[in-house]
Homo-oligomer: A and B are copies of this chain.
Amino acid sequence: MPGGTTGSGVAAEVVDELKGRVRRGVYGPGDKLPSERALSEELGVSRPTIREAIRALAAMNIVSQRHGSGVYVRSLDVFELLEPVRFALEVSEPTLASLFQVRLALEPLSAQLAAARATDAEIRHLSSIAEAATASRVSVSRFLELDTALHEALVLASHDELLRTIISSLAFLAHESRERTVRQPGVRESTIRDHAAIVRAVENRDSRAAGEAMDRHLRNLLTASGTERRLR
């Protein structure tokens, strides 16, 4: 009973069918789908309908169409899959408070797991990121980049795909607000301290300390951003 949530109609069914095949791995990333004419025959629907379905999948960044060549399954990376919603999020806006609530529940977990599971190479990577942010002449955008990278590296080191998917999605949502938060006085300094504490805990394989350090870090950011503001 896979996710047939798209709607009714033949085209919608084709979308679900193809989406299902990608989900089940019938077509993996990089693979070429059958030609529109072939799919048309196989599924017993007209080519325009197939085209509509493929256009929808392309809009969701699940496939990409290459004129004269074929239709290919994309990387299925979380960020890419979320990109189509970026536009719509300009109007929607989850509350910052809500976002932080969820991050406060998940990111300490991410840090805990990272402390327990990170490889030595991953720990070195974490250190280098935290280190890079301490340099005096770091631009705002570069600082944001490093901040994002640290959270991403942590959840990668947790070796938990599900956590990575969710946290990456949230980071995507948070991106807009971070630009403002990081400009507030003192935030960069406290962020550097917090990051250092997290990395130190991971280096020491201290799950509890890592989780607590992350918790403090997020609460600091929350305080700095003012909780009632909306994203964007």
A contact residues vs B (CB 8 Å cutoff): 1-3, 5, 7, 9, 11, 15, 19, 22-23, 29, 48, 51-53, 55-62, 65, 67, 76-78, 81-95, 98-99, 101-102, 105-106, 109, 113, 160-166, 169, 172-173, 175
Contacts and interface: CB of A to CB of B under 8 A. Distances in A.
Given A23-B87, A82-B84, A165 B3 contact: no
A1 to B, nearest CB: 8
30 contacts: A2-B90, A3-B87, A3-B90, A9-B67, A11-B55, A23-B91, A51-B52, A52-B52, A53-B55, A59-B59, A59-B84, A60-B87, A61-B85, A62-B88, A78-B92, A78-B94, A81-B92, A82-B169, A85-B165, A92-B162, A95-B162, A99-B162, A101-B109, A101-B113, A101-B160, A101-B163, A102-B106, A102-B166, A106-B106, A162-B173
A166 to B, nearest CB: 6
Contact of A81 (B23, B85, B161): B85
How many copies of this kind of chain does the complex include?
2
Nearest to A82: B84
Contacts of A173: 162
Contact of A94 (B84, B93, B162): B162
A98 B163 contact: yes
Contacts of A83: 5
A22 B84 CA distance: 14
A215 to B, nearest CB: 12
A169 B76 CA distance: 17
B55 A3 contact: no
Nearest to A175: B1
A114 to B, nearest CB: 13
Contact of A85 (B23, B98, B102, B169): B169
B22 A91 contact: yes
Contact of A55 (B56, B93, B161): B56
A81 B87 contact: yes
Contacts of A53: 55
Contacts of A5: 83, 86
A104 to B, nearest CB: 8
Contact of A161 (B23, B58, B92): B92
